[in-house]
């Protein structure tokens, strides 16, 4: 049985990608598929290495029954061997990841796994950075992350 090794990637690894990691792990565990997936997250930047996720990400996850347990980590080329797929939250994260040495064939925009967005090509396939906005930004981000997570799980389950 093959294990899918997924790495969610944003800029700081404290808002979007730890939330995506926690939500996807939750979806996987609901389906009792924990032994089929290895799930982590990274930031392209290193400012928050070792830190817990942003309190606003922790709060929105907790409201949906999900505990976020990751600590901030920065992407490095050593991760190329550890993961099959890097799921970038926005185009800037994707481009930076590739500039930093991630193999292009392993990098996808995470929202490309949302089937609704796949149909509507005019919509931007990006999870907006909620760091400098208010708490409602985190609700929007949660909904986007959940929809893409369901699509990702359907694709690989």
Q: Which residues bind ligand 4NP (CB under 6 A)?
A: 10-16, 47, 129, 131
Catalytic annotation, pick one of 7, 16, 79, 90? 16
DSSP state of 35: G
Give the C-alpha separation, 65 to 59, whole Å: 10
Nearest-approach distance from CB 47 to ligand 4NP, in angstroms? 5
Choose between 36 and 51: whose C-beta lies nearer to ligand 4NP: 51
Choose between 64 and 155: whose C-beta lies nearer to ligand 4NP: 64
- Could you please report the per-residue DSSP string of 52-113? PPPHHHHHHHHHTT--------B--TTHHHH-SEEEESSHHHHHHHHHTT--GGGEEEGGGG
Nearest-approach distance from CB 96 to ligand 4NP, in angstroms? 11
Give catalytic status of residue 129 as yes or no.
yes
Nearest-approach distance from CB 36 to ligand 4NP, in angstroms? 26
Give catalytic status of residue 136 as yes or no.
no
Give catalytic status of residue 150 as yes or no.
no
Q: Do residues 60 and 137 lie in contact, with contact meaning Cβ atoms separated by under 8 Å? A: no
Annotated active-site positions, please? 10, 16, 129
């Amino acid at each position: 049985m093959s294990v899918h090794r997924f790495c969610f990637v944003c800029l700081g690894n404290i808002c979007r990608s730890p939330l995506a990691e926690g939500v996807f792990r939750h979806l996987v565990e609901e389906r009792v598929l924990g032994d089929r997936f290895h799930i982590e997250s990274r930031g392209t930047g290193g400012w928050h290495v070792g830190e817990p996720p942003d309190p606003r990400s922790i709060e929105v996850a907790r409201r949906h029954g999900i505990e976020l347990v990751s600590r901030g980590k920065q992407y490095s080329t050593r991760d190329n061997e550890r993961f099959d797929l890097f799921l970038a939250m926005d185009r800037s994260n994707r481009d930076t990841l590739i500039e930093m040495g991630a193999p292009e064939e392993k990098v996808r925009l995470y929202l490309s796994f949302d089937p609704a967005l796949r149909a509507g090509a005019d919509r931007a396939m990006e999870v907006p950075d909620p760091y400098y906005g208010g708490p409602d930004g985190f609700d929007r981000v949660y909904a986007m992350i959940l929809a893409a997570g369901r699509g990702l799980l359907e694709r690989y389950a």
